[in-house]
Structure 1
Amino acid sequence: MNYLKRCRNIRVGNFRFLNLIIVFCIFVSCSNENKLEKEIAEIPVDFDIERFDQLFAQLTPESLPELKNNFPFLFSEKYEDSIWFKRSQDTIQQEVNKEVEKVFLDLSAEKKELHSLFQHIQYYFPQIKVPRVVTITNDVDYRNKVVLSKGLLVVSLDTYLGKDHHFYESIQKYLRQNFNRQNIVSDVASVYAKNQVGPIRERTFLGNLISFGKEMYIKDLLLPSLSNARKIGYTEEQYKWAEVNEDQIWRYFIEKQLLYSTDSELMPRFMYPAPFSKFYLEEIDKEAPDRIGQYIGWRIVASYVENNNVSLQQLLIADAETIFNKSKYKPKR
């Protein structure tokens, strides 16, 4: 009995010691993260949000020349000045102006989020300069909500009026889900992440998984305080579903031998915006959020970074198979 008691005490002692080690590691990790975030918060970033949308709404024949001079990239030379003035007076354009002004009378919250985002971009990608930021309206062109080109960042505010806004009644619900102002900073980060990852070079399903996974991992770095659901553009319920069913999703990909498939139909099924991810299983398709492949790729890339001593640049140039093979990825059960 005394021997068994001693063994039990040893096991309890070892368990407590292991718990102490885990707590210590978490404490050190959090301490390092806080130190890093404090360092990033000291990076100087200077920019303004230029409200072209407001200036265009107040357009007069007298103010047009100066507006064209200040924003030449927004005026095509093939149109005469009268066309621009006529457009500014169009009843639909005026309604758009009014609705945008209601929602975006003040952009201080967005500027604060963008300020932090640009600081993180400067830290991880110091070669990237802080952009000139311009807000516009653009006929609710939701395919080009955010455009980044040659140091210019253009945000179309009329695509962020709220998912239930009457402007969006004819647009599919799964697209409207992210037409909220809270999605602006995430969409901006996505554009930067996509630029760093570059075009998808591998035609396999795995190649696409990893490419999107790299983009999501970069968003982790650039938006550390943003929820995972907002980063990927899910509701909290959709993200929870992905977490709970991660093992089942992965087993489906493996059992169907999808990883090295080059079937182009897999992309709209699991990678692109859609009403849901298409497993062709009635009990799953009813609940599965779209782009579930992006979620799995995100988890694989995060596992690769966690289990290998690699720099961000090494991650970006690593091929999909290397990342997958060295990731030691095991989905949550």
Structure 2
Amino acid sequence: MTRSAYGLSLGFVFLVFSSCGNSNEPCTLPDSYLEIPVEVRLHRMEQLFFEDLTEEKLTEHLENYPEFSSAMFGNMGFENEAQLKTELLLIHSDSGMQELYEEVAIHFDTVAEIEESLEDAFRGILFHFPEFKVPEVYTFVTGFGTDLIVEEDIIIIGLDYFLPEDHRFQPLELPQYIVKRYTEEHLIPTIVTAISSQFNQTDLGDRTLLAEMIFYGKAYHFAKTILPCTPDEYIIGYEKKEVIGSYANEEMIWGHFIENELLYETNAFEIRRYVGEAPFTDVISPDAPGRIGRWLGWNIVDDYRNNNNLSLSELMQQQDAREIFKLSGYKPR
């Protein structure tokens, strides 16, 4: 595929899309999701650790929230609790950190929308996986040190990462193609995709590119099922034009994988080219978005579930990537 071919296809589809417009039909969650009782209340830990913090208050906070303290500070490498307290007092009294906290407090003066969105997401997960345990959810200001911690019992959201993209505080060490995914629209899909790993059974002995594609495909299918009203671009972290362009060029993308016999490739460097973080998949085209193998795996998984009448639970339990591919009947649109 040449650069001009991919670029022309992108431009053509974008013009068609612009002239047709988006569907105005509102999306609503299934009643089966909404009937499940869930209540989420975010613990605003940044308020405790930044407002009038003293050694006595710090000790109290660490003792009162041991789960949060362990997840947030347990891997900071301090020799003892006294050293941890000293460092936390220095960090949270730093003028720059205080300014960052104040900006977060202004922008996130309420987190009601995040709470409501998490409630809807957890309802969807519980509908498909009744054994799911709703985690405690905390917010914090990490100084761009930690964006998200998602574990079975706890979720911590680094709110500073999710300030508006035009805000003067930004995680400068990250490339722009990753920074653009740190928006409030991406927050819940990212959390749900991370939660999918609790249910995403895989064959750890399968080191092929296909196995990687299917793993991510199952994760994105999980997130889209739980969040049916969320546009694909927020699930996978593409721009809308990248989603449109990928579908428009799906046959060429698939042709590249088949012609180069990539599905059963086991070379880690080659695999990273197609599923690793990158601004674009240069071996296909400078216009092809990065992680294109994950997107292709998502399409294969969609077809596998749809063509075999499987529940989400049955899909996530299937470990055999080759079987998923074989029974998917996948063909480019």
The bucket for the TM-score relative to the shorter chain is 0.7 to 0.9
Which residue does 1:136 correspond to in 2?
140
Gaps of 5+ in 1: 1-29
Question: Which secondary structure state, in structure 1, belongs to the residue aligned with residue 137 of structure 2?
Answer: strand
8 Å Cα contact 1:271-1:292 kept in structure 2: yes
1:244 aligns with 2:244: no
| Pairwise CA distance, 1:200 | 6.1
CA distance in 2, matches of 1:70, 1:294: 41
Which residue does 1:177 correspond to in 2?
180
Q: Deviations over 1:41-68 (max 9, x none)?
A: 0100022100001221114324223312
8 Å Cα contact 2:200-2:316 kept in structure 1: yes
Letter in 2 for 1:262: T
Q: Deviations over 1:159-189 (max 9, x none)?
A: 1113343333442111111111221101110
Which residue does 1:194 correspond to in 2?
197
Question: Which secondary structure state, in structure 2, belongs to the residue aligned with residue 260 of structure 1?
Answer: coil
Which residue does 1:68 correspond to in 2?
62
Q: Deviations over 1:3-36 (max 9, x none)?
A: xxxxxxxxxxxxxxxxxxxxxxxxxxx9xx97x8
Which residue does 2:164 correspond to in 1?
162
Q: How many residues are aligned here?
A: 294
Q: Deviations over 1:85-109 (max 9, x none)?
A: 2221112211221221232111111
| 125-134 vs 65-74, which moves further | 65-74
Letter in 2 for 1:39: S
| Pairwise CA distance, 1:241 | 1.2
Question: Which secondary structure state, in structure 2, belongs to the residue aligned with residue 259 of structure 1?
Answer: coil
| 131-140 vs 294-303, which moves further | 131-140
8 Å Cα contact 2:40-2:116 kept in structure 1: no
**Residues 48 and 270 of structure 1, relative CA distance in 2, 3 Å threshold:** same
**Residues 306 and 150 of structure 1, relative CA distance in 2, 3 Å threshold:** closer
CA distance in 1, matches of 2:158, 2:193: 15
| Pairwise CA distance, 1:278 | 2.5
CA distance in 2, matches of 1:197, 1:123: 16
Which residue does 2:96 correspond to in 1?
92
1:57 aligns with 2:59: no
CA distance in 1, matches of 2:201, 2:99: 38
CA distance in 2, matches of 1:272, 1:162: 26
1:261 aligns with 2:258: no
| Pairwise CA distance, 1:69 | 2.0
Instruction: Provide the aligned C-alpha RMSD in A.
Output: 2.1
CA distance in 2, matches of 1:105, 1:272: 36
1:124 aligns with 2:128: yes
8 Å Cα contact 2:139-2:156 kept in structure 1: yes
CA distance in 1, matches of 2:224, 2:173: 33
Which residue does 2:19 correspond to in 1?
none
Which residue does 1:47 correspond to in 2?
40
**Residues 59 and 82 of structure 1, relative CA distance in 2, 3 Å threshold:** farther
Which residue does 1:291 correspond to in 2?
291
CA distance in 1, matches of 2:150, 2:173: 27
Letter in 2 for 1:54: Q
1:315 aligns with 2:312: no
8 Å Cα contact 1:271-1:290 kept in structure 2: yes
CA distance in 2, matches of 1:322, 1:295: 19
The one of 144, 153, 156 aligned to 2:155 = 153
Question: Which secondary structure state, in structure 1, belongs to the residue aligned with residue 155 of structure 2?
Answer: strand
Question: Which secondary structure state, in structure 2, belongs to the residue aligned with residue 197 of structure 1?
Answer: coil
Question: Which secondary structure state, in structure 1, belongs to the residue aligned with residue 36 of structure 2?
Answer: coil
Which residue does 2:15 correspond to in 1?
none
**Residues 139 and 199 of structure 1, relative CA distance in 2, 3 Å threshold:** farther
Q: Deviations over 1:228-251 (max 9, x none)?
A: 111111111111111111111000
CA distance in 2, matches of 1:155, 1:301: 29
| 167-176 vs 218-227, which moves further | 167-176
8 Å Cα contact 1:268-1:274 kept in structure 2: no
Letter in 2 for 1:187: T
Q: TM-score, normalised by structure 2?
A: 0.82
CA distance in 1, matches of 2:281, 2:87: 44
**Residues 215 and 98 of structure 1, relative CA distance in 2, 3 Å threshold:** same
CA distance in 2, matches of 1:266, 1:111: 40
